[in-house]
Structure 1
Amino acid sequence: MSQHRILTQQETGSGTRFEVYEIAHLTRVLERRGGDYELVQAYTPAGRRQVKISLEGGGALLEPGALQYAHGNLRVAVQQQEQGGFLARAVRSAGTGESAFATRYEGYGEVWTEPTAKHFLIASMEGPGDALLLDDRAFYACESSIQLKTHTHRSVSGVLSGNGLVQPRLEGRGVFVVESPVPAEEVEAVEIGGGRELIVDGDLLLMYSASLQVELRPLVRGLRNAARSGEGLVYVLRGEGVAWLTPTARGLFSSP
């Protein structure tokens, strides 16, 4: 037997509610109480999480393929993201980033997503000038009041990197959900400003303010120096804004 335990939730002004649940399995263990042993039931986390979206007349966008089931009086449609030109569409159709489409749910009911070992972060944008760029694997869901677009980095280094040539862009006001390799408490927010810049491996960059200027390039200029540095292409962010990093994610994928 299993149950869902809520980890975090946030409700929007339109009554739409986003909730993140953790799946836990029921286990039975013997515990000594006094001179006797008693069979005690406990729930153990299964290491999988899923998102529940409750709609009360509002709408939400969901990453294609994420649906487990939905019920209620719902209208479902496929919505194409606003594109950054032919190159963006071509790259997405090649499967190197997010889909060029999202599934739109409107009406009254519940939408449950597929369980996954990854983590979810729920956040909000204040709009109307608020905008974020996400890692090309991070977008998961958002309130329909948010505009979901794509942003194309037009630099030679960006084209070669494969790490964000085209990225999801969120604009406006509302609640959104991103998929993260690490839990929320391990995500680090780095403020950029005052003439300082941030240099980071793109694999650790979860999202950042769209107001930042971004360059994708080798860590060290010149082919010989780049080879000696042992680093590939990195993101260099300048201007005023915030970048959210997942510095502990590297250990999840490295060999012991």
Structure 2
Amino acid sequence: MSEDYRRLVETMPGNGVTIEVYEFTRKAYGGSSAMPSAAPAAAGATAAPITVVLPTAMHWRQVRIILTGGGALVEPGALQYAIGQLEVEVQKLNPKSNIFSRAVASAGTGESGFATHYRGRGEVWTEPTTKHFILAAMDGEQDALLLDDKAFYACESTIALKTHIHASVQGMFSGNGLMQPKLEGKGVFVIESPVPVNEIEEIEVQPGQEVIVDGDILLMYSASLQVELKPLVRGLRNLYRSGEGLVYKIRGKGRVWITPTVNMGK
């Protein structure tokens, strides 16, 4: 069976793990166009137009994780198939927490309270998706990241996948949840993005500055930053007049990645 329909677009090696992103195109028949009928119409009548269904190219993406003695954590439900000599187990995101606190964290982040851990030698293919993938690496605790809800996809098992709890209860009304997935450690990882990488904007936050971001477009940010989830303005009347809900107010030193085009076309 040929695999030529898949094209390798990006690869990121780790320690005993390599993560690859593939892309392929399929035609979807969702659009239509009305064309005038070629058949003669009766006297005084207008020929009914013919509706032609037009094929639309859909770009799909798929992740392959190659294991050569290392391990990887994958979002539950992402597996399509795996090959090789692999050990698979379910891993808690916060090993010291109980099942109730993990359920609360899962509800707060939109992510599962668990991840699927693969290790050994072989390869893991994930389900195709029309969303985009971002491959990256972190070199230690100083690179720790907080992710948007449902952004985590997979990482090398040398990275700790945790749940960060915001100090402000207002976070649960922000659209991003009271809790967010946190990546910490050293290794390679992949996150799922609603927009391509060239439409992601990186903001370098400097001490003394404040960055205000709508939660809908916040993809991830440095865990070293001080973040508050609160109304843009004080007072219920002013909140109503501003037309804005809760926003992220970010201070400190670090980086923020946003997706300004995510709501276009909605």
Q: Same fold (TM over 0.5)?
A: yes
For the 8 Å contact 1:3–1:25, the answer to whether it is kept is no
In structure 2, C-alpha distance between the alignment counterparts of 1:240 and 1:106, rounded to whole Å: 36
Paired amino acid for 2:66: S
Distance 1:136 1:182, change over 3 A: same
Aligned length, in residue pairs: 235
Query: What's the offset of the Cα at 1:16?
Result: 1.1
Paired amino acid for 1:113: T
1:38 aligned residue: none
Query: What's the offset of the Cα at 1:90?
Result: 3.6
Query: What's the offset of the Cα at 1:88?
Result: 5.0
Alignment of 1:1-256 (within 5 A): 3-12=5-14, 14-25=15-26, 46-82=58-94, 88-94=101-107, 97-252=110-265, 254=266
Q: Which runs of 5+ in 2 are unaligned?
A: 28-55
Once superposed, which parts of structure 1, at least 4 consecutive aligned residues long, lie more than 2 Å away?
A: 83-96, 159-162
More strand by share: 1
Query: What's the offset of the Cα at 1:47?
Result: 1.4
Normalization by structure 1: what TM-score? Answer: 0.86
Deviations 1:181-234 (A, max 9, x none): 001111111000131111011111100000000000111111000000011110
Between structure 1 and structure 2, the one with the greater Rg is: 2
Paired residue secondary structure (2:104):
helix
Paired residue secondary structure (1:225):
helix
In structure 2, C-alpha distance between the alignment counterparts of 1:11 and 1:20, rounded to whole Å: 12
Distance 1:245 1:78, change over 3 A: same
Deviations 1:146-203 (A, max 9, x none): 0110001121321332413110111111000000000111111100013111101111
Query: What's the offset of the Cα at 1:136?
Result: 1.6
Paired residue secondary structure (1:251):
coil
Distance 1:60 1:71, change over 3 A: same
In structure 1, C-alpha distance between the alignment counterparts of 2:188 and 2:222, rounded to whole Å: 16
- Identity over aligned residues, as a percent? 62
Q: CA RMSD in A?
A: 2.1
In structure 2, C-alpha distance between the alignment counterparts of 1:213 and 1:95, rounded to whole Å: 20
Distance 1:214 1:107, change over 3 A: same
For the 8 Å contact 1:83–1:150, the answer to whether it is kept is no
Paired residue secondary structure (1:117):
coil
Q: Which runs of 5+ in 1 are unaligned?
A: 27-43
